[in-house]
């Protein structure tokens, strides 16, 4: 009887904490299903967002290929980059399909989350590198197209401009790594928490620790993006000062 009372008190506390009505094991399992669905949705949404930026990169590269056709150097680099980006997009698409299948084929919530956790653990480096590749290609391709719109050719600028350009590009790559790596870490911790919740039947393991970690990651992402924007503004100012742009 004491154990039953303790369990009931625990559900009551979770109801107050999450504002979700727990009345028994069935509702707990429904909550886990909702939680699992939310995790899958967030991960797939993240991959689709990468698709959007990769599509933008492809458009820039195609326009560079078309408009710089007489320039064999730019043309060749753009074609090579386009082929690499298409391979990466194929990998992203396969990843999205695999994750979708994990969600559909496994009726057991715990099994689905376990397999998703293992999949991310095995493929984390590939997923991070795939995300980084978008930033590797999109900025140079976009800048080359920008120069064509203004001048019809690649515009030369002082050596300091190249240095700043390199710094911006490097910051974008580092920022992409930090953002994607922290996002996957959060998903892994979130999944692990749900698995532990399911095993122990303790919904209170949706803890403040993970929520606080997410808040820290958001602050870090904002800081990284702000730094990149500041450096980009400085870069544009330098180009303007030297008559480029």
* pLDDT tens by residue, 18-59: 444 444 444 556 666 777 787 888 888 888 888 888 888 899
Q: What is the pTM of this model?
A: 0.70
For the chain, what percent of residues have pLDDT higher than 90? 11
Task: Please report which confidence band the pLDDT of residue 84 belongs to, taking 50, 70 and 90 as the band edges.
Answer: very high
- Contact yes or no for 37/48 (Cβ under 8 A): no
* Of 193 and 218, more confident: 193
pLDDT at residue 17 tops 50: no
d(CA 4, CA 21): 18
pLDDT digits (tens, 9 = 90+) for 226-241: 766 676 676 666 666 6
Which of 64-73, 160-169, 171-180, 218-227 shows the lowest mean pLDDT across its residues? 218-227
End-to-end CA distance of the chain: 77
* Of 9 and 102, more confident: 102
Res 94: pLDDT? 93
Res 244: pLDDT? 52
Backbone angles phi, psi at 107, to 5 degrees: -80, -25
Average pLDDT estimate for 9-16: 48
Backbone angles phi, psi at 159, to 5 degrees: -55, -35
**CA atoms 86, 90, 95, 96: torsion sign:** positive
Q: Is residue 68 packed enough to be buried (19+ CB in 10 Å), middle (13-18) or exposed (0-12)?
A: buried
- Tokens encoding 159: 């050596």
Average pLDDT estimate for 119-129: 90
pLDDT digits (tens, 9 = 90+) for 48-57: 888 888 888 8
* Of 161 and 130, more confident: 130
> For the CA atoms of 196, 201, 207, 210, what is the dihedral angle to 10 degrees?
30
Average pLDDT estimate for 107-128: 85
- Contact yes or no for 145/63 (Cβ under 8 A): yes
- Contact yes or no for 66/101 (Cβ under 8 A): no
d(CA 126, CA 145): 29
- Contact yes or no for 33/112 (Cβ under 8 A): no
d(CA 65, CA 83): 12
Which residues contact residue 244 at a Cβ distance below 8 angstroms, ignoring those fewer than 6 apart?
155, 156, 157, 161
């Amino acid at each position: 009887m004491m154990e039953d009372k303790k369990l009931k008190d625990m559900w009551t506390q979770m109801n107050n904490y999450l504002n979700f009505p727990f009345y028994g094991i069935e509702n707990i399992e429904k909550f886990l299903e909702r939680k699992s669905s939310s995790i899958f949705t967030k991960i797939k949404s993240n991959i689709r967002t990468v698709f959007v930026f990769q599509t933008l990169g492809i458009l820039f590269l195609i326009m560079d290929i078309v408009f710089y056709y007489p320039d064999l150097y730019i043309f060749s680099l753009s074609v090579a980059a386009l082929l690499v980006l298409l391979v990466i997009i194929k990998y992203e698409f396969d990843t999205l399909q695999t994750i979708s299948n994990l969600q559909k084929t496994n009726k057991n919530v715990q099994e689905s989350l376990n397999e998703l956790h293992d999949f991310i653990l095995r493929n984390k480096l590939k997923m991070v590198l795939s995300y980084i590749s978008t930033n590797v290609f999109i900025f140079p391709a976009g800048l080359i197209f920008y120069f064509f719109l203004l001048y019809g050719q690649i515009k030369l600028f002082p050596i300091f401009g190249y240095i700043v350009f390199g710094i911006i590009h490097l910051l974008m790559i580092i920022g992409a790594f930090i953002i994607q790596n922290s996002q996957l870490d959060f998903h892994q911790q979130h999944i692990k928490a749900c698995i532990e919740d399911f095993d122990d039947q303790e919904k209170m393991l949706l803890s403040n620790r993970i929520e606080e970690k997410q808040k820290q990651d958001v602050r870090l992402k904002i800081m990284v993006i702000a730094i990149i924007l500041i450096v980009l503004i400085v870069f544009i100012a330098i180009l303007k000062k030297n008559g480029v742009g």
